[in-house]
Amino acid sequence: MAAQEQAKIQAEKAKEAMEFKAINTIRTLSMDAVQAANSGHPGTAMAMAPVVYTLWNEALAFDPDDPIWPNRDRFVLSIGHASMLLYSILHLTQVKAVNGKYERMGELSVPLDDIKRFRQLDSRCPGHPEYRWTSGVETTTGPLGQGVATSVGMAIASKWQAAHFNRPGFEMFSYDTYAICGDGCMMEGLSHEAASLAAHLKLDNLCWIYDNNKITIEGHTEWAFSEDVATRFVGYGWNVVRVGDANDLNMMRRALNTFKKTKDRPTLIIVDSHIAWGAPNKQDTHAAHGEPLGEEEIRLTKKNYGWPDEKFLVPEDVLAHYKAGIGERGGKLRRDWFDKFAEYKKAHAELADHLERMQRRALPENWDKDLPVYPADAKGVAGRDAGGKVLNQLAKNVPWLMGGSADLAPSTKTRLTFEGAGDFINPESHLGDYGGRNFHFGVREHAMHAIVNGLSLSKIKPYGSQFLIFSDYARTAIRLSAIMEIPAVHIFTHDSIGVGEDGPTHQPIEHLGSLRAIPGLVTLRPGDANEVVEAWRFIMKSRHEPVALILTRQPLPTLDRTKYNSAEGLQKGGYVVGDAADAKPDVILIGTGSEVSLCVSAHEELAKQGVKSRVVSIPSWEVFEHQTAAYKESVLPAAVKARVCVEQAGSFGWERYAGDTGCIIAMKSFGASAPLKELQKKFGFTTENVIERAKEQIAKKA
């Protein structure tokens, strides 16, 4: 009996030794990579290595051989500056790479050579984790708070997919979402918005792990942060548990188990850690957090770990340990899922087809059937009204098109009103359920757009809507959707001084220019109801580009498309709406959105006066600039220097189309509070002014 007990003790000691060897491999890789780059943050990666080890090797439902299988757990490193924590675990668990066509490549997502080139050009290990660049990275992080907010979208997606796809005997979706955050994330207002909504929705599949190390870049958090985070989250309605020592694996296991057992609320695990500085004599905590340790400090730290004085050492038994842990467990979970899915395809063929199409970002058959065609109408339709009608028809055809607004659906017209659309609400509320397709984000503009990113990363086709003026509150999330190349849809109404009496605080001026300045974001400002239809056709077919759809509050005249060219021209970003009879205009009138009809009105009056003009609509500068030089020349011939550009927003950027001598009718101030017609007269957005400027342009070129 004594021998058996002794053997058990020895086995337990060997197990613990192996665990900490695996943990120390994460630490030493992080130290070495940051030192080699002479740039980066080693401290948090070292301190939180035991937490990541426990989560990945023992709890995470994730298969390194297939990092995109649909029911995998999601892991988000919201503290993106600690990226070596993620790159190390991706290498040690031998996660495989996936290409843009969702094909598994077989090679490692993070080869050791890329860790050696941490933060260097073209390395798979950039300074902060980047989605699409490194397989296993579920979302791009770096701006603090973005990761945790995006994780709420992933948790929502899991709940919705379960409600939509699961059937008796077929639990196709049940994944959890984990996010590691720090003091910086907790300070950002974005995390407050996201945490509040997650608790309201009772997302019990969401777990945030808070690294409570009391250190930020400037130094100790006592300088700027003293709130009781646990009490705050209890107040939201979260379950809060504490791990008193990041190195205590058993405490971490118990905390994760508590999360798994907790129902009806998300979980916050507060992990007390000390920012890692390696050997006991290190005192400069700022340097340890935000700078390389230095060669001597690394040598002493490795000695303290009982580690060989060797750079980028990855012991073979450590790789075998991870393979026996997450490798075997995750592989079985994934194989079982696909075996079940094969049966699901036979029992629920249409749902299975939709599930597969979602994963490929493909659309169902007849996705655009019954879209409206608007007849000519001088009174017209507001962009937001046309958008709401088109959105509702598309959502009938595409079951995974869904979204909501920042408490503005009655104004943005983005509520899905057809039978069965429903509301995404915790089922206990009796107001909806997790299968509903209308999201209620509350007055949380920034969190909404980050959550929309999380939904898109989960392969749902999501949208979030609000007034254009408040896009300022959400630029970071919108920018990240462009960096990640995900087809998130950001809808903005009340797009100009057309807001009228609400005045300068609600009249967007610089916002169109600022959105157009974001690389990879397509900004669409349709000019009438039929252009709105075409805008949504573009949006639905987009697989790698986020879109900012800009719509009016006020009615827009619906152009007579038997007289003017088809709105299908929107698909090229810009097109000739109307032209001189001989297609040789003396002046070109260029507009977007509500100003297209203004240009058309001036064009018609100029024709009566014997002046030849062309009207060009450029609803998307970005799409237009991607056309061939020949096409752009056919729309805006270089020989025609007389040009008038019209937009009820700031003039910034219009020089590219007006040319050096062209005229730009735009806003030079923040607007004013008055009825729209008075504002248009005050700021020059009238037919008479466009005509006068056009004639001046022609005279200058004579």
pLDDT in tens, 31-88: 999 999 998 888 899 999 999 999 999 999 999 999 999 999 999 999 999 999 999 9
Q: Let me know if the fold of 15-335 is the same as that of 377-557.
A: yes
Mean pLDDT across 632-655: 96
Q: Could you give the CA distance from residue 489 to residue 545 in angstroms, rounded to a whole number?
A: 9
9-28: b or e for each residue (b if 16 or more CB lie within 10 Å)? eeeeeeeeeebbbbbbbbbb
Phi, psi of 188 (to 5 degrees): -65, 135
Q: Could you give the CA distance from residue 420 to residue 414 in angstroms, rounded to a whole number?
A: 16
Phi, psi of 420 (to 5 degrees): 95, -5
Q: Could you give the CA distance from residue 96 to residue 111 in angstroms, rounded to a whole number?
A: 10
Q: Could you give the CA distance from residue 412 to residue 582 in angstroms, rounded to a whole number?
A: 41
- List of residues 6+ apart from 137 with CB closer than 8 A: 86, 90, 129, 130, 131
Q: Is the pLDDT of residue 277 over 50?
A: no
Mean pLDDT across 595-608: 97
Q: Is the pLDDT of residue 8 over 90?
A: no
Nearest-Å Rg of the Cα atoms of the chain is 28
**Residue 291: burial class (beta carbons within 10 Å; 0-12, 13-18, 19+):** middle
Long-range Cβ contact pairs of 350-355 (< 8 A, separation 24 or more)? 351/164, 351/165, 351/167, 354/165, 354/399, 354/400, 355/70, 355/165, 355/172
Q: Is the pLDDT of residue 637 over 80?
A: yes
More confident residue, 227 or 385: 385
Superfamily holding 15-335:
Thiamin diphosphate (ThDP)-binding fold, Pyr/PP domains (3.40.50.970)
pLDDT at 130: 96
Give which of 371, 376, 373 is closest to 564, Cα–Cα. 376
What are the structure tokens assigned to 495, written together? Answer: 């797009």
Q: How confident is the model at residue 358 (pLDDT cuts 50, 70, 90)?
A: very high
Q: Is the pLDDT of residue 155 over 50?
A: yes
Q: Is the pLDDT of residue 395 over 50?
A: yes
Q: Is the pLDDT of residue 100 over 90?
A: no
Q: Is the pLDDT of residue 284 over 60?
A: no
3-state secondary structure of 101: coil
Report, at the CATH architecture level, how domain 377-557 is classified. Answer: 3-Layer(aba) Sandwich (3.40)
CB contact at 8 A, 529 and 380: yes
The verdict on whether 222 is a catalytic residue reads: no
Name the amino acid, one letter, at 482. Answer: A
Domain boundaries, the chain: 15-335, 377-557, 573-701
Report, at the CATH architecture level, how domain 573-701 is classified. Answer: 3-Layer(aba) Sandwich (3.40)
CB contact at 8 A, 454 and 76: no
With helix as H, strand as E and coil as C, how does 409-467 read? HHHHCCCCCCCCCCEECCHHHCCCECCCCEEECCCCHHHHHHHHHHHHHCCCEEEEEEE
Mean pLDDT across 190-202: 97
What mean pLDDT is reported for the chain? 93
For 91, half-sphere exposure in the C-beta direction (CA atoms, 13 angstrom radius) is 29
pLDDT at 3: 77
Indicate which residue of 19, 193, 445, 647 is catalytic: 445
Q: How confident is the model at residue 657 (pLDDT cuts 50, 70, 90)?
A: very high
What are the structure tokens assigned to 147, written together? Answer: 């990761």
According to DSSP, the residues that pair with 269 across neighbouring strands are 209, 241
pLDDT at 103: 64
Mean pLDDT across 590-617: 97
Give which of 162, 155, 291 is closest to 215, Cα–Cα. 291
Q: How confident is the model at residue 275 (pLDDT cuts 50, 70, 90)?
A: low
Mean pLDDT across 537-547: 96
Name the amino acid, one letter, at 558. Answer: T
Which percentage of the chain shows pLDDT scores above 90?
A: 85
